[in-house]
C-alpha cells in the first residue's frame, strides 16, 4: 500500500477505535436490556460496531454514527431474542410438564427470583411484538434518550416521536396483559 | 383551543407544555386521555427499567476492542464469519471438520486397496459437548497430518462471485430471491485443498499392524459464502463442492473399527455412526445436543436439515453436486426456504 493509503487506513483505524471506546458500553447496556444476557449483549455491540466499516458510516458526524449504531444494536438484539425464543420453544414445551413440580419445590426468595425473571421475559416478548419503530422509540425513551436522539435513530421527525411513543406504550401494555 | 393530540399529550409528560394547561383544566375528555397516556407511559417505564436488574454490568472496553481488531489494534476487523460460524457457514465448516475428524470413523467401504468416500447426502449425529469423552481433537494426535495445502483452504474476502469462483474452483450459484432490504455485504471464498492423514505405530503403539502406514486422503472442497445485511441482521448463503475421502494401503473397515474403539469417540456417537446405512456417500453432521435444535426437512426439493440455535436458524442440504447452507439471524424459516428455493 502506498503512503497515502497507509495514512488513510490509520485515520480510519483511529476513528474506529475512538467511536468504539465512546459507544461500546452504551450499546452493551441497550442490548442487555433486550437480550437479558451480558455476554450476548457484548456480542451484539461488537457486531454493530464492526458493521461501521462495511456500511461506510465512519465518515459521518458523531451524532449520525451514534443514531445508526443504536438502531442496528436494538434490531440485532431483538433478532437474537426472536431466534432464541424459536429455538427454545420446543425444549420449553417438553419441560412444561415438569414445571408444576419444580415450582412446588421453590420457596421464598428463590420463587421471587423466578417470578421476576418470568416478568422480564414477558416484557421482552411484549416489546418484540411491537413494530420496529415503536419498540425502538420505547426502549430509547425509557433508557433516558432525548426526543432528538430517538428521532435520529428511528429516522423520523422529532415531532413524530410522541406519536410513536403513545401508540407504542399503549400497544405494549395491551400485549403484556394479553400474554399474562 | 381545540382538543390536544395524543402525541402532544405524551410530549407534555416529558417536557411540560404550559400552553395546554388551560385547556386540560377545562376539558374533561383531554384530561381523561392524558391520564390514559400517563398510565401507559408509567407502565412502560417501570417495565423497561426493571430489565436493568437482569442485564449486564461493567464492560472491559479495551478487551472488547482488542477482540474485534486483533491485527491492527484499532481498525475495524473483518467480520470473518463471526455470526455465520454459528449458523450457515458455520454448519459448512462443521461439515468439513466432521469430515476430517469424524467421517473416516464412519466409513465402511469395500475392502479394497483404494476405497473412497464421496459426499452425496447428509445426516445428523448428535453428541454432548459436556461429555468429557467427546475429545475429538485428540484424534489428530494418533495420525501424522500433512496439511501443506491447508492454508489454501482458509476463507478470504473477495470482491464478487466471479472472484470467488476463481478461488473455489466452481461457479457459485446465483440467488434469485432475497428478503426486502437485503444488501450484499461481502463475499468470502476458500480454495480446494488436500489433507493427508497417515497412521503409524510411532504415534499410536496399539495400532493394528494392518493399519501401520495406512493413509486417508481428504479432498476438502472449495467454498463460497455470500453475506447480506437484512435490516441489521445477517443472512448467509454458502455452498461447497463435494467432499471426498480416499483410503490408501488399508481396509477402511479396519480403520473404522479401530477409530470407533478409541476413547475419544463417545460411545453413543460411535453407535450412531455405525447405524448409518450408506457409509460411502453420507456425510455425518455432528450437532451438539441442547445447544442446537434440528430436524430433518426438505429443502429445495432435496432432503436436508433445519437447525436453530440461540443466534439464528439455518438450512443445510446436499443437492448431489454441492453442499449448501443458508442461515440468518432472526429470519423466519419460511423466508429461509424461499431463499433456498431460489438458489442454483
pLDDT at B316: 84
Interface check A87 vs B, CB under 8 A: yes
**Residue among A50, A121, A56, A31 at smallest CA distance from B234:** A50
Q: Which of B8, B43, B53, B54 to mutate to test the interface with A (most CBs of A within 10 A)?
A: B54
Q: Summarize pLDDT for A48-103 with one digit per residue, the tens.
A: 888 886 667 788 889 999 999 999 999 889 888 876 665 444 334 433 433 343 44
Interface check B82 vs A, CB under 8 A: yes
**Angstrom distance (rounded) from CA A153 to CA A146:** 11
pLDDT at B204: 83
Helix (H, G, I), strand (E, B) or coil at B99: helix
| Whether the Cβ atoms of residue B306 and residue B333 lie closer than 8 Å to each other | yes
Residues of A in contact with B76 (CB under 8 A): 12-13, 16, 49-50, 52-53, 58
**Angstrom distance (rounded) from CA A43 to CA A37:** 10
First to last CA, chain A: 60
- A98-180: same fold as A1-97? no
Residues of B in contact with A147 (CB under 8 A): 11, 14
Q: Strands B282-288, B215-220: parallel, antiparallel or unpaired by DSSP?
A: unpaired
Helix (H, G, I), strand (E, B) or coil at B180: coil
Residue with cell 474452483: B169
Interface check B75 vs A, CB under 8 A: yes
Q: Do B48 and A123 touch (CB under 8 A)?
A: yes
3-state secondary structure B130-175: CCCCCCHHHHHHHEEEECCCHHHHCCEEECCHHHHHHHHCCCCCCE
pLDDT at A70: 94
Q: Do B48 and A143 touch (CB under 8 A)?
A: yes
Q: Do A24 and B293 touch (CB under 8 A)?
A: no
Interface check B74 vs A, CB under 8 A: yes
Q: Summarize pLDDT for A4-42 with one digit per residue, the tens.
A: 444 555 666 788 889 999 999 999 999 999 988 888 888
**Angstrom distance (rounded) from CA B327 to CA B83:** 10
| Whether the Cβ atoms of residue B294 and residue B319 lie closer than 8 Å to each other | no
Q: Summarize pLDDT for B266-322 with one digit per residue, the tens.
A: 787 778 877 877 766 777 777 766 666 778 888 888 888 887 766 667 888 888 788
**Residue among B227, B325, B74, B162 at smallest CA distance from A54:** B227
Within 13 Å and on the Cβ side, how many CA atoms surround A64? 8
Helix (H, G, I), strand (E, B) or coil at B19: helix
Q: Summarize pLDDT for B141-186 with one digit per residue, the tens.
A: 677 776 565 555 666 778 888 999 999 899 988 889 998 888 887 8
**Angstrom distance (rounded) from CA B76 to CA B82:** 13
Instruction: Give residue limits of the domains in chain A.
Output: 1-97, 98-180
| Whether the Cβ atoms of residue B330 and residue A78 lie closer than 8 Å to each other | yes
The residue in chain B having the minimum alpha-carbon distance to the alpha carbon of residue A54 is B185
Most confident of A48-52, A121-125, B92-96: A121-125
The x, y and z cell numbers of residue A124, run together, are 421482552
Q: Do B43 and A173 touch (CB under 8 A)?
A: yes
3-state secondary structure B268-299: HHHHHHHCCCCCCCEEEEEEECCCCEEEEEEE
The x, y and z cell numbers of residue B171, run together, are 461457479
Q: Do A21 and B65 touch (CB under 8 A)?
A: yes
Q: Give B198: exposed, middle or buried? Use CB within 10 Å, 0-12, 13-18, 19+.
A: middle
- Compute chain A's Rg from CA coordinates: 20
pLDDT at A74: 93
Into which CATH architecture does domain A1-97 fall?
Answer: Orthogonal Bundle (1.10)
> How far is the alpha carbon of B77 from chain A, nearest alpha carbon, in Å?
6
**Residue among B235, B81, B181, B229 at smallest CA distance from A57:** B229
> How far is the alpha carbon of A105 from chain B, nearest alpha carbon, in Å?
23
Give me the helix-helix angle, A62-96 and A147-154, nearest 10°: 80
Residue with cell 428463590: A110
Q: What is the CATH number of domain A98-180?
A: 1.10.10.10
Interface check B85 vs A, CB under 8 A: no
Q: Strands B121-127, B282-288: parallel, antiparallel or unpaired by DSSP?
A: parallel
Q: Summarize pLDDT for B66-78 with one digit per residue, the tens.
A: 877 643 344 443 3
**Residue among A157, A41, A140, A79 at smallest CA distance from B64:** A41
Whole-complex ipTM: 0.83
Average pLDDT, whole number, for chain B?
A: 73
Residues of A in contact with B68 (CB under 8 A): 20, 46, 49-50
Amino acid at each position: 500500500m502506498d503512503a497515502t493509503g497507509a495514512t488513510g487506513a490509520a485515520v480510519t483505524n483511529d476513528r474506529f477505535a475512538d467511536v468504539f471506546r465512546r459507544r461500546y458500553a452504551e450499546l452493551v447496556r441497550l442490548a442487555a436490556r433486550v437480550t437479558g444476557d451480558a455476554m450476548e449483549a457484548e456480542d451484539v455491540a461488537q457486531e454493530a460496531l464492526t458493521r461501521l466499516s462495511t456500511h461506510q458510516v465512519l465518515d459521518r458526524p458523531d451524532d449520525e454514527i451514534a443514531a445508526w449504531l443504536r438502531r442496528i444494536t436494538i434490531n440485532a438484539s431483538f433478532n437474537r431474542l426472536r431466534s432464541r425464543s424459536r429455538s427454545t420453544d420446543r425444549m420449553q414445551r417438553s419441560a412444561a410438564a415438569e414445571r408444576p413440580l419444580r415450582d412446588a419445590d421453590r420457596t421464598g426468595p428463590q420463587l421471587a427470583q423466578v417470578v421476576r425473571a418470568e416478568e422480564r421475559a414477558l416484557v421482552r416478548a411484549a416489546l418484540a411484538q411491537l413494530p420496529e419503530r415503536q419498540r425502538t422509540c420505547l426502549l430509547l425513551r425509557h433508557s433516558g434518550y432525548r426526543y432528538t436522539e430517538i428521532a435520529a435513530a428511528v429516522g423520523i421527525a422529532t415531532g413524530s416521536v410522541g406519536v410513536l411513543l403513545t401508540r407504542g406504550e399503549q400497544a405494549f401494555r395491551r400485549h403484556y396483559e394479553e400474554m399474562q | 383551543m381545540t382538543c390536544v393530540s395524543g402525541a402532544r399529550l405524551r410530549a407534555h409528560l416529558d417536557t411540560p407544555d404550559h400552553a395546554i394547561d388551560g385547556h386540560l383544566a377545562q376539558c374533561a375528555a383531554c384530561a381523561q386521555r392524558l391520564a390514559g397516556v400517563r398510565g401507559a407511559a408509567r407502565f412502560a417505564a417501570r417495565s423497561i427499567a426493571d430489565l436493568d436488574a437482569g442485564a449486564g454490568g461493567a464492560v472491559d472496553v479495551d478487551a472488547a476492542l482488542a477482540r474485534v481488531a486483533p491485527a491492527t489494534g484499532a481498525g475495524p476487523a473483518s467480520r470473518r464469519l463471526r455470526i455465520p460460524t454459528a449458523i450457515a457457514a458455520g454448519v459448512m465448516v462443521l461439515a468439513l471438520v466432521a469430515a476430517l475428524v469424524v467421517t473416516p470413523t464412519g466409513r465402511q467401504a469395500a475392502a479394497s486397496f483404494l476405497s473412497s468416500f464421496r459426499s452425496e447426502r447428509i445426516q445428523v449425529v448428535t453428541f454432548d459437548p459436556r461429555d468429557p469423552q467427546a475429545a475429538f481433537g485428540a484424534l489428530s494426535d494418533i495420525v501424522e497430518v500433512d496439511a501443506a495445502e491447508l492454508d489454501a483452504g482458509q476463507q478470504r474476502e473477495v470482491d464478487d462471485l466471479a472472484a470467488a469462483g476463481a478461488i473455489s474452483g466452481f461457479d457459485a450459484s446465483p440467488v434469485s430471491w432475497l428478503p426486502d432490504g437485503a444488501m450484499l455485504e461481502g463475499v468470502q471464498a476458500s480454495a480446494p485443498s488436500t489433507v493427508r492423514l497417515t497412521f503409524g505405530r510411532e504415534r499410536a503403539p496399539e495400532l493394528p499392524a494392518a493399519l501401520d502406514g495406512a493413509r486417508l486422503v481428504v479432498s476438502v472442497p472449495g467454498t463460497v459464502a455470500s453475506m447480506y445485511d437484512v435490516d441489521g441482521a445477517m443472512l448467509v448463503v454458502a455452498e461447497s463442492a463435494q467432499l471426498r475421502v480416499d483410503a490408501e494401503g488399508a481396509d477402511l473397515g479396519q480403520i473404522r473399527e479401530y477409530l470407533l474403539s478409541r476413547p475419544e469417540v463417545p460411545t453413543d456417537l460411535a453407535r450412531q455412526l455405525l447405524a448409518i446405512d450408506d457409509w460411502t456417500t453420507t456425510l455425518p453432521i455432528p450437532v451438539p445436543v441442547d445447544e442446537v435444535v434440528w430436524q430433518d426437512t426438505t429443502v429445495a426439493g432435496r432432503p436436508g436439515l433445519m437447525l436453530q440455535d440461540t443466534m439464528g436458524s439455518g438450512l443445510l442440504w446436499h443437492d448431489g453436486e454441492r453442499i449448501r447452507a443458508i442461515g440468518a439471524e432472526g429470519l423466519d424459516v419460511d423466508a429461509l426456504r424461499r431463499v433456498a428455493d431460489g438458489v442454483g
